[in-house]
Amino acid sequence: MHYCTYTQVVTQKADTKKMANLSQDTASAVLNTCIKLSNTSDFEHTIQEVVKDIREICGAFICCILSVNPIDRTCRVLAEASSEEGQGMTMQSILDEDPNFYEIVAEKWEDTIGGSNCLILKNRSDMEYLKERNPVWYESMTTHRVESIVLFPMKFGEELLGYIWATNFDTEKADQIKETMELTTFFVASSVASVQLIRRLKILSSVDMLTGVLNRNEMNERIERIVSGEDHLRNLGIVFADINGLKRVNDEQGHFAGDRLLKHAAELLRDVFKRCDVYRAGGDEFMIIIPDTGDKELEQFCSELKSKELGFGPVGFATGYSCVNDSQDIRKAMHTADERMYLDKAAFYEKHPELKR
């Protein structure tokens, strides 16, 4: 099987012994990256600095850190830097032009690397390897006048997080570039994994896992910020929405059906209240915070919501709303909206006594 002349398999981890064997320039570059990543309070800004450093070390036209998500089959540019010569092409512009980039190109990168821990193509002869293994990517690169590529997968354990790559790099420094990027990629991957974990934990603490809307904990924190004046709004509207008939669905069709009803209800709420925060206050009760609104608009919102079909027979939304000029009166608005919702609910069960809880 043909491999490019400079593609190499490297299995060592970034350890103390390996660091000790690095050249002074490489060790300094890797240490600089570690210090930046470990001391940052602004990951987005720091990762942009890191990619600029990597581009300068490589003497490359373009350098990019790209995250991949195999679950939803997408790519995202975490950071990118280019020289004046490389301004004509950016990874972001490629992704914008081709929304299927992951499926037709990036998904094949692991196979393109061919079992190695990196891909380094130094010249046109080496690029023939890319033409053979990933012709679509080869076509894209040659179209953008790319004559050399270095590509490193970012992995944390066995999980592929993304790639670091550079184009039209200084091939005279190929050994140093490979040595530097191998360890730099290790530390960048560790930092990216930590940031992703923190974001996942944030989502778990703020999002209702069943419906996907914000949870009660996040709702309470938002109310506290509003009451304290930290998040000050004018003409604040509150809507409470509750599902009439959920208990009957749970009793007659089971709780899986009830869960489907709750998910569908949340989708309708997000659709009607597109620019607003929707919270699951508990059970089948939702609260929506609407900034810069008035009674007429709130009434229209509620009317639209009540017209939506939830399915599952004679079920629907009970709603109540209230508006206050000063957002620090939010609890007053909540109390009024909640009372109106229960009056609306009582009217529904008066009309449908057979569904009463």
What are 103-160's pLDDT values in tens digits? 888 888 988 888 788 999 998 889 998 999 899 889 988 888 889 999 999 998 888 8
Give the pLDDT band (50/70/90) at residue 339.
very high
Give the pLDDT band (50/70/90) at residue 355.
low
Q: What single string gives the DSSP state of each residue in 264-281? A: HHHHHHHHHSTTSEEEEE
Give yes or no for residue 168 having a pLDDT over 60.
yes
Structure token pair of residue 346: 């009582």
What's the whole-number mean pLDDT along residues 213-240?
Answer: 90
Give the pLDDT band (50/70/90) at residue 88.
low
pLDDT at 15: 47
Instruction: Measure the CA–CA gap between 248 and 61, rounded to whole angstroms.
Output: 64
Give the pLDDT band (50/70/90) at residue 11.
very low
Give yes or no for residue 191 having a pLDDT over 50.
yes
Query: Regarding predicted confidence, which is higher, 52 or 252?
Result: 52
pLDDT at 19: 47
What's the whole-number mean pLDDT along residues 266-274?
Answer: 93
pLDDT at 7: 33
- What percent of the chain is modeled with pLDDT above 90? 38
Q: 255-274: buried (b, 16+ CB within 10 Å) or exposed (e) per residue?
A: eeebeebbebbbebbeebbe
Give yes or no for residue 219 having a pLDDT over 90.
yes
pLDDT at 253: 86
User: pLDDT digits over 74-87, tens only?
Assistant: 889 999 998 876 55
Q: How far apart are the first and last CA of the chain?
A: 71
What's the whole-number mean pLDDT along residues 205-218?
Answer: 90
Give yes or no for residue 343 having a pLDDT over 80.
yes
What's the whole-number mean pLDDT along residues 326-341?
Answer: 93
Q: What single string gives the DSSP state of each residue in 20-74? A: HTS-HHHHHHHHHHHHHHHH-S-HHHHHHHHHHHHHHHHT-SEEEEEEEETTTTE
Give yes or no for residue 12 having a pLDDT over 60.
no
What's the whole-number mean pLDDT along residues 262-275?
Answer: 92
What domains does the chain contain, in order, with CATH numbers? 16-203 (3.30.450.40), 216-355 (3.30.70.270)
